[in-house]
Amino acid sequence: APAWRQLYSTEEKSDLERRPPVVTILGHVDHGKTSLLDKIRQTNVQEGEAGGITQHIGAYQVEHDNRVVTFLDTPGHEAFTAMRSRGAAGADIAVLVVAADDGVMPTTREALAHARAAGVPIVVALNKIDRNNANPEYVKQQLAEELDLRSDEWGGDTLVVPVSAKTGDGIEDLIEAILLVADDTEILANPNTKAAGTVLEGRMEQGRGPVATLLVQNGTLHTGDIVIAGTSHGRIKAMFDEKGKTVKEAKPSQPVSVMGLDDPPHAGDMFEVVKDIKVARSTTEMRQFEQDQAEIQPAVAFTLEDAFERFQAGETKELLLVIKVDVDGSLEPVVQSVEHIEVADFNVRVLHAGVGNISEDDVNLANASGAIIIGFNVHADTAAARTAESLGVDIRSYNIIYKLIESVELALKGLLEPEYADRTIGVAEVRALFRVPRVGNIAGSYVLDGTIRRNSKA
Ligand code: GDP
């Protein structure tokens, strides 16, 4: 299993236990993400609690055959990717909703790219099967041919579950499919340690002050714990589950809303429990300071030219690309040719490829995954260009295929000539000079700012 599903890799293996899977729901607009989340919640409310006031706190848990599943209830890949770009792991499993009367749409493709970029296993919910014009067989074929999501009935390894968020048909099967996938994936945590996890929501509430929903991902959270969440901190005064019931503790994969922080944290911030309130205060002050500094400086771009340096530094062995082309006919040739490029041990992986201008969504995907965007006969729309600039995402446009391939090849070899003027990536002060025969002069230097990389010019 990918290491990140055991989020806290410092834990000893023997301390790890299975935790409920955390599931996110993705898919094209109007295909029924929200309806599905509501229906799952309604049909799985525990007995005796029906009629209780449920609150949307960013996630909820359901029980099925004595097993628990956590659903994030902000649907859509935007939330999921925002979390990833802040370093948080969004979910363990993604449910891709595809309406059986509408089929694969552009956002279906995008959502899948986001889930695949995150390395999350995917379950398909074929929704709206109650509709007269639903054509599940056709959509299954589309999924297989266009998205390489082959249904298990056809010998593939994707569970494709027909459901109706309207009638409730298939909802139990969907939860069962999620649990089957969870069985195949080691979804682990150590429940017996200080809690850590991700902030799902933060807001000010009248009479309550700052309220945050925390998803515990490791350890157990208790009332009275001192928490640092992003740049906020405080001692937990009270905790509530999604039914508004007071709870004293929260285990891995459990969402709780908490009171007691000095400020509402941001969705996607990581949180952790610390022993000492003074440590909590000084840590958050430091973070606030760093954040203010970062706002003054523009984002450092990861450019195509940097790829080779990253390979050299051992940071990665893959160049990740998001590709946009003008017409359907160019998609295959462009993707195929770049995917075949391999130089030494380094290769290219296409996270997402589609037809149309470069959108803000493409930029967010590239940003969360450390990818570069390549446009073929297309350009970035205004919002995308602005976001790319502020996040430091590199966008390259080409209109001749061989030029595109050549650039990528040269980048992998470290031979790509920069398109731009020199860029200062770091500043150092020379403190001492050493003269070494036959080698030359060596400058003992002290880095004052930025990074000094091997192969950089000075
Ligand atoms: P979202 O944009 O993906 O969150 O989609 P919504 O949940 O808002 O659903 C879009 C529309 O489809 C709404 O009018 C829903 O009532 C309808 N809808 C959702 N699921 C089903 C279903 O299974 N059957 C039918 N007939 N309609 C559905």
What is the Å distance from ligand 1's center to 125 Cα? 13
Gyration radius from the chain CA atoms? 24
- The reply to whether the predicted model has a pTM over 0.75 is yes
- Asked if residue 395 lies in contact with residue 375, where contact means CB atoms within 8 angstroms, the answer is yes
The whole-angstrom distance between residue 283's C-alpha and the CA centroid of its chain comes to 25
| Residue minimizing CA distance to atom 9 of ligand 1 | 32
Q: Is the CB of 5 under 6 A from ligand 1?
A: no
Ligand 1 centre distance from Cα of residue 30 (Å)? 6
Which residues sit opposite 25 in a β-bridge? 95
Confidence of residue 1 (pLDDT cuts 50, 70, 90): very low
pLDDT of the residue at 4: 39
Q: Would you put residue 416 in left (φ > 0), alpha (ψ -120 to 50) or beta?
A: beta
Distance CA 354, CA 334 (A): 11
CA distances from 357 to 302, 324, 326, 379, 380 (A): 21, 7, 7, 6, 6
Residue 111 reports pLDDT greater than 50 = yes
- Give burial (CB, 10 Å; 0-12/13-18/19+) of 259: middle
User: Is ligand 1 within 6 A of the CB of residue 75?
Assistant: yes
Cα–Cα distance measured from residue 312 to residue 320, given in angstroms and rounded to the nearest whole number: 16
Residues 349-360 have a mean pLDDT of: 93
**Residue 337: beta bridge partners?**
none
Could you give the CA distance from residue 256 to residue 246 in angstroms, rounded to a whole number? Answer: 9
pLDDT in tens, 293-350: 776 665 666 788 887 887 777 777 889 999 999 998 888 889 999 998 888 778 899 9
DSSP string of 107-144, one letter each residue: HHHHHHHHHHHTT--EEEEEE-TTSTT--HHHHHHHHH
Answer yes or no: is pLDDT of 357 > 60: yes
The β-bridge relationship of strands 22-27 and 67-72 is parallel
Identity of the residue numbered 440: G
Confidence bin at 15 (pLDDT 50/70/90) = confident
How far, in Å, CA of 226 to CA of 91, rounded? Answer: 25
* Ligand 1 center from residue 178 Cα (angstroms): 21
CB 202 within 8 A of CB 268: no
**Cα–chain center distance at 289:** 26
Query: For residue 2, what pLDDT band results from cuts at 50, 70 and 90?
Result: very low
What is the position in ligand 1's atom list of the atom closest to the CA of 75? 4
Q: For the purposes of burial, counting CB atoms within 10 Å of the CB of 428, is it exposed (0-12), middle (13-18) or buried (19 or more)?
A: middle
CA of 29, closest atom in ligand 1 = 2
Residue 78 CA to ligand 1 center (angstroms) comes to: 19
Q: What is the mean pLDDT of residues 428-437?
A: 87
Q: What is the pLDDT of residue 277?
A: 93
State the Cα–Cα distance between residues 355 and 366, nearest whole angstrom. 16
Question: From atom 18 of ligand 1, which residue's Cα is the shortest distance away?
Answer: 32
CA of 32 to the centre of ligand 1 (A): 4
Separation between Cα atoms, residue 148 and residue 352, nearest integer Å? 13
- The pLDDT of residue 46 is 56
For the residues 258-285, what does the mean pLDDT come to?
Answer: 92
**Atom 24, ligand 1: residue with shortest CA distance:** 128
Reading the block at residue 440, the tokens are 């030359």
Instruction: Compute the distance between CA of residue 357 and CA of residue 325 in angstroms, rounded to an integer.
Output: 7
Please determine, for residue 57, whether its predicted confidence score (pLDDT) is greater than 70: yes
Helix (H, G, I), strand (E, B) or coil at 362: helix
Average pLDDT, the chain: 87
**Residue of 24, 30, 74, 133 best suited for mutating to test ligand 1, as the one with most atoms within 8 Å of CB:** 30
Interval 242-258: pLDDT, tens: 888 999 999 999 999 99
